[in-house]
Amino acid sequence: MIVADQLNKHFKIYETKRGFVGSMTSLFSTKHHLVKAVNDISFEVKEGEFVGYIGPNGAGKSTTIKMLSGILHPTSGKIEVSGLSPQKRRKEVAKKIGIVFGQRTQLWWDLPLRDSFDILKEMYKVPDAKYNQFLKLYDDMLQIGKFMNTPVRKLSLGQRMRGDLAAAMIHDPDVLFLDEPTIGLDVNAKTSIRAFLKELNSNEKKTILLTTHDMDDIEQLCSRVIVINHGQLVLDGTLDDLKQTIGLPSVMEVQYRSKPENIEPLHGIEKMSWENGKLILLYDRTILSSPALLQSVTKWGEPIDIQMKEPEIEEVIRKIY
Ligand SMILES: Nc1ncnc2c1ncn2[C@@H]1O[C@H](COP(=O)(O)OP(=O)(O)OP(=O)(O)O)[C@@H](O)[C@H]1O
């Protein structure tokens, strides 16, 4: 559905000097350095996948999305969306994709939301019957009916984002590119947007590529994650793959009836500590399996509570960056 093959985007940054004279001479300067915003990235996203495209600030996420959607031309490499090149067949590709940039609205700021939808309907030549069906469906899914007649500039961020998401769906695209659709939203707004995206993916079978800094978005929505850093692909796999690759230890917390006297050190245990009367064990599952550790833990004393935890996704991501 989406193919990026050895994709590169390099920006030439011309050096500017300070002051008026400096900026005038800079106009004729050829001194520049190259920013490799996207550096030899390849991946494929299959129909119906929900992929998280993550990385730290400046990693190259937005640049990739802009190239995939035909807004930017790659320096080199090949892109296909639904079998078409967004660069060569931009208009056809535009009909197949929906885009949302969380940082900036694509709606007409001073017009009521309804008018933005009407303009998009005409742009995409959506038939009346289909459009009315769309309005009904998206009012059910996103409750946009309540503020359809409000100018976009007067909408709350959560309402505006719901409007933007609905607008991206007017022409019923197969693929959605979402760049930070939950940025700045409160918990309730995030929850309703996540529920909407989940429904789009599972019921409407939309293929979704999502960039976000919110790891809850990733955990709740994405079956696969692609991690990029400094323009390069660092990892492509499931969240579990990500956790394993990073090699953060698993955690076992044990509460004993009384503190054991003899705790034998085991190969694979990275750290042992006591917190609030609980024994906290950090261990490497590739060396010491959870059942083997459980066996030892019950030999050391009489546990009254045992909890096992996987590393928090935030920690995993922090470690990658
Ligand atoms: N038009 C441009 N001209 C020059 N450099 C650019 C341009 N657009 C992006 N860059 C640079 O390319 C790199 C990648 O930027 P990009 O916006 O793709 O990162 P990002 O991963 O989306 O970051 P963030 O999470 O902060 O949105 C950055 O170093 C940025 O400064």
Does 241 have pLDDT greater than 90?
Answer: no
CB atoms closer than 10 angstroms to residue 254: 21
Per-residue pLDDT, averaged over 23-47, amounts to 84
**Mean pLDDT across 217-223:** 90
Non-local (6+) Cβ contacts of 194 within 8 A are: 182, 216, 217, 220, 221
Which pLDDT does position 10 carry in this prediction?
95
Closest CA to ligand 1's atom 1: 11
> CB neighbours (10 Å) of residue 83?
11
Cα distances (Å, whole numbers) of residue 42 to 9, 77, 79, 309? 13, 9, 9, 33
Average pLDDT in the 238-266 region?
A: 85
Asked whether the predicted pLDDT for residue 27 surpasses 80, the reply is: no
* Three-state secondary structure call for residue 102: coil
pLDDT of residue 26: 63
pLDDT at 310 over 90: no
Give the pLDDT band of residue 128 (cuts 50, 70, 90): very high
Q: Which two tokens stand for residue 275?
A: 């917190």
Cα 36 to ligand 1 centroid, rounded to whole Å: 9
Which own/partner contact pairs does 22-30 have at CB distance under 8 Å and 24+ positions apart? none
Confidence at residue 213, expressed as pLDDT on a 0 to 100 scale: 85
Shortest-distance Cα residue to atom 16 of ligand 1: 60
| Residue where the block lists tokens 């800094």 | 213
Is residue 260 predicted with pLDDT exceeding 70?
yes
**pLDDT exceeds cutoff 90 at 311:** no
> Cα–Cα distance between 3 and 74 in angstroms, integer?
13
Q: In whole angstroms, what separates CA 301 from the centre of its chain?
A: 44
One-letter amino acid of 290: S
Centre of ligand 1 to C-alpha 250, Å, is 35
H/E stretch holding 97: strand 97-101
> Is it the case that residue 154 has pLDDT exceeding 90?
yes
Q: How far is the CA of 243 from the centre of ligand 1 (A)?
A: 27
Ligand 1: does its nearest atom lie under 6 Å from the Cβ of 160? no
Tell me whether residue 165 is exposed, middle or buried, using C-beta atoms within 10 angstroms of its C-beta: 0 to 12, 13 to 18, 19 or more: buried
Q: Is 320 or 109 the better-scoring residue by pLDDT?
A: 109
Residue with token string 């991206």: 168
- What would the DSSP string read from start to end of 158-195? HHHHHHHHHHHHTT--SEEEEESTTTT--HHHHHHHHH
Which segment of 4-13, 118-127, 135-144, 299-308 scores lowest on mean pLDDT?
Answer: 135-144
CA 141–ligand 1 middle distance (angstroms)? 33
Distance (Å, rounded) from C-alpha 191 to C-alpha 197? 10
Q: What is the pLDDT of residue 321?
A: 65
Answer whether residue 111 shows pLDDT above 80. Answer: yes
Decide if pLDDT at 320 tops 70.
no
Q: Tell which residue, 275, 290, 291, 279, has the closest CA to residue 253.
A: 279
Model confidence band, residue 236 (pLDDT cutoffs 50, 70, 90): very high
* Mutational pocket test of ligand 1: of 63, 100, 213, the residue with most ligand atoms within 8 Å of the beta carbon: 63
Q: Which of 35, 54, 73, 214 to mutate to test the pocket of ligand 1 (most atoms within 8 A of CB)?
A: 35
Residue 59 Cβ contacting ligand 1 at under 6 Å: yes
Q: Is the pLDDT of residue 33 over 90?
A: no
- Per residue in 175-211, pLDDT (tens digit) is 999 999 998 888 888 998 999 999 999 998 999 999 9
Report the share of the chain in percent with pLDDT over 90.
63
In short, whether 37's Cβ falls inside 6 Å of ligand 1 is yes
| Residue with CA at minimum distance from ligand 1 atom 7 | 11
Which ligand 1 atom lies nearest to the CA of residue 63?
A: 18
Q: Residue 206 has what pLDDT?
A: 95
Q: Tell me which residue of 110, 118, 117 sits closest to 162, measured CA to CA.
A: 117
**Strand 32-45, strand 76-81: pairing:** unpaired
Report DSSP letters for 226-252, one per residue: EEEETTEEEEEE-HHHHHHHHTPPEEE
How, if at all, do strands 50-54 and 207-211 pair? Answer: parallel
Asked if residue 58 has pLDDT above 70, the reply is yes
Is the minimum distance from the CB of 258 to ligand 1 under 6 angstroms? no
ipTM of the complex: 0.96
* pLDDT of 225 above 90: yes
